[in-house]
Structure 1
Amino acid sequence: MADELYDDPRLVALYDVQNNGRWDVDHYLALARRLDARRVVDVGCGTGTLAIELAERADHVTGVDPSAGMLGAARAKPGAEAVAWLQGTAADLPERGFDLAVMAGHVAQVFVTEEHWATTLGHLGRALVAGGVLTFETRNPAMQAWKGWTPQRSRAAAVIDGRLVESWHEVNDVGDGTVSFTTHYVLGADPTDHVESRSVLAFRDLPTLERTLGAAGFAIETVHGDWGGSAFTDGSPEIIVSARRG
C-alpha cells in the first residue's frame, strides 16, 4: 500500500509530532510577508499548520491535499475556519486565483515522473496570476539524504493518544533520480500491529529544476541552500526555490 501515512488515522496523528519544526513554516511565512501575498495556495497542505498561519494575514488561503485524513486533521485545528480546504490536486485549482503558491514539506518530490512534474507545474502556472510566485523546497540529491534512511539511523518513537509508536525507514531502491523506501510503524506494545507505508520520491538537481521551471514559464529568482537563508552550494542540504511566473 502506498503512502499509508496519509490515510491511516493513527498515522495522520503522528504526522505533526514527527514534523514539528518551525524552520520551513517561518521561511514561507516571511516570504509571504515580503511579497505582501494576498491570495495564497498551500499545495499538499497536509495537516494545515502552514495554511492556517498564512491565513492570519492573507485575504484568502486555500489548502489543497489529496488525503481526506490529512484534511480532516487540518479542519479540526484552531483557526481552520479561515482557510478554504480542498481535497484534490493542483489540477483542481481555479485559473488565475492566486499570487503565491507554496509547496512545503518536500511535496515537490512526490511528483516522481518528469511528466507528472511538468503537468503539475503547468497547473500551478495556470493557477497563478501573471507575476505570481511559486516556492518550494527539495532535498539536494548531491547530499544523498537517503543514506540516513536506515533502520539504525532513522528509528524514532513518539507517544500518540497514550500509545507508544515506533517508526523507522528502510530504502528499497535508488534509481536514476528516484528513491523508493518503506517506513515501518509499530503501534503500541503488540509488535504484530505493524503498518508499512511505501513511498517513492524524486531527487532533482538545480539544473533540472531550472530547465523544468523554465519550460513551464517560470523564472527562478532566489535559491537558498538551507532555512537560515544561505546561498545554495553543491554541499547544501536543501534547494529552496522561489520562481516567478512570466
Structure 2
Amino acid sequence: MTDDPFGDEQLVELYDLDNPSGIDHDFFRALADELEATKIIDFGCGTGLLTRTLAKPGRKVIGIDPSKTMLDYARRQPGADTVTWIDGDLTAVEQSGDADLVLSSGNTMMYVSGLPAALSALRGALKPGGVISFESRNPTTRAWEQWTREATYGERDTSAGRLREWIEVIDVDQGRVVFDAHNVFDDGRDAVFRNVLYFRTVEELTTALEEAGFGGIEVRGGWRGEAVTDASRLLVFRAAGS
C-alpha cells in the first residue's frame, strides 16, 4: 500500500463522492455497536468517511492509512478531531492488544500483498476475543473481465473540471490483477494510476486468517448476511483473535 493510486489531491477530493456511505458503512457501525467497542482501528481508512462516524463519547477510534494525501484530506473534514490519524502501513499498527475491533473497508485488504504479515499485525492490536472484519471481491465472478475502456469509459463535470475516465486491465496472474485508472483533465493531462489488486478465494482468506491466529471465522456473501455462492460479488469476513 502506497500513496498511489490515491496521491492526486484533485482526485482525492472526488473520492467520497464516488464512494459514498452505504450499506457497507452501516454494517461496520452496527458491528461496532454490537461489540460495544471502546477502541476501534480502521486499517486503510482513506479519507475517513466511515472512520469519523464511528467516533462517539467513550470510544477511541484510530484511522491508519499509507496515503498522506488521503489522510491530509481526512484531517480537514468535520469531526476529524474525534479520530487519531496515523500515517503508515501495517508497521504503524501498535501491538497494544487492547482493541475491540479492527476493520478494513473499501476492499483495503485487496491492496495488501503481504496479507499474512498484515493480519498478524492486526491481531496483535486486538484484545483476546477482539474482532476483525473486512470485505474482498469474490474471484469467481471475474469482475476484471469487465474492466475495459469500452465498458468503463465515462465523462463528467467535477470540481476539478471536465473529467474523462476509464480503466484498463494490464495483467492477470493467479488472482493478481494489475490495471490502470485513467483520469483525463480539461488541459489534456492524463493522470494514470496503476492499481494492483489481489483477488483471493474464501479458502485463501480463511487460511491466512488461521495462520495469523484468528478463529471463529465467518464469511458471508454480502452485507446482509447472504450465503456465499459463486455469484456472490463480495466476501465479507469476521473473525476473532486469540
Q: TM-score, normalised by structure 1?
A: 0.92
2:235 counterpart of 1:239: yes
Q: Once the two structures are aligned, what percentage of the paired residues are identical?
A: 37
Contact preservation (8 Å) 2:119, 2:212: yes
Q: How many residues align?
A: 240
1:17-51 C-alpha deviation (Å, 9 max, x unpaired): 21124121111111111111110000000000111
Q: Tell me, in whole angstroms, the C-alpha distance in 2 between the residues paired with 1:123 and 1:3.
A: 20
Look up the match of 1:20: 20
Q: State the partner residue of 1:125.
A: 123
List runs of 5+ in structure 1 lacking aligned partners. none
Describe the shift of the 1:27–1:157 C-alpha distance in structure 2 as closer, same or farther (beyond 3 A).
farther
Match for 1:197: what amino acid?
F
- 1:173 offset after TM fit, Å? 0.7
- After superposition, residues 166-185 of structure 1 pair within 5 angstroms as 166-185=164-183
**Superposition pairs of residues 42-191 of structure 1, within 5 angstroms:** 42-56=42-56, 59-95=59-95, 96-112=97-113, 116-161=114-159, 163-188=161-186, 190=187
Offset, 1:57? 5.6
Structure 1 residues 217, 55: CA separation in 2 closer, same or farther (over 3 Å shift)? same
The amino acid of 1:227's aligned partner reads: W
Alignment deviations for residues 94-149 of structure 1 (CA, whole Å, 9 cap, x no partner): 2214110001000000112xxx1111011001111111111000000000111121
Query: Which structure 2 residue ranges, 5 or more long, are not aligned?
Result: none
Matched residue type, 1:243: A
Cα distance between partner residues in 1 of 2:167 and 2:43? 25
Which amino acid letter does the alignment assign opposite residue 65 of structure 2? Answer: D
Out of 173, 178, 194, the residue aligned to residue 190 of structure 2 is: 194
1:59 Cα deviation after fit: 1.0
The question of whether the paired residues in 1 share the 8 Å contact of 2:169 and 2:178 is answered with yes
Deviations 1:138-174 (A, max 9, x none): 0000001111211122223443326122211100011
Cα 1:220–1:156, aligned 2, differ >3 Å: closer, same or farther? Answer: farther
> Retained in 1: the 8 A contact 2:206–2:217?
no
Local SS of the residue matching 2:45: coil
In structure 2, relative to structure 1, the CA distance for the partners of 1:35 and 1:5 (3 Å cut) is same
Deviation of the 1:3 alpha carbon: 6.3
Q: TM-score scaled to structure 2, two decimals?
A: 0.94
Q: Deviations over 1:41-79 (max 9, x none)?
A: 000000001110001366100000011110011111111
Structure-1 separation of matches of 2:4 and 2:92: 23
Equivalent position amino acid for 2:215 in 1: A
Distance 1:58 1:138 in 2: 30
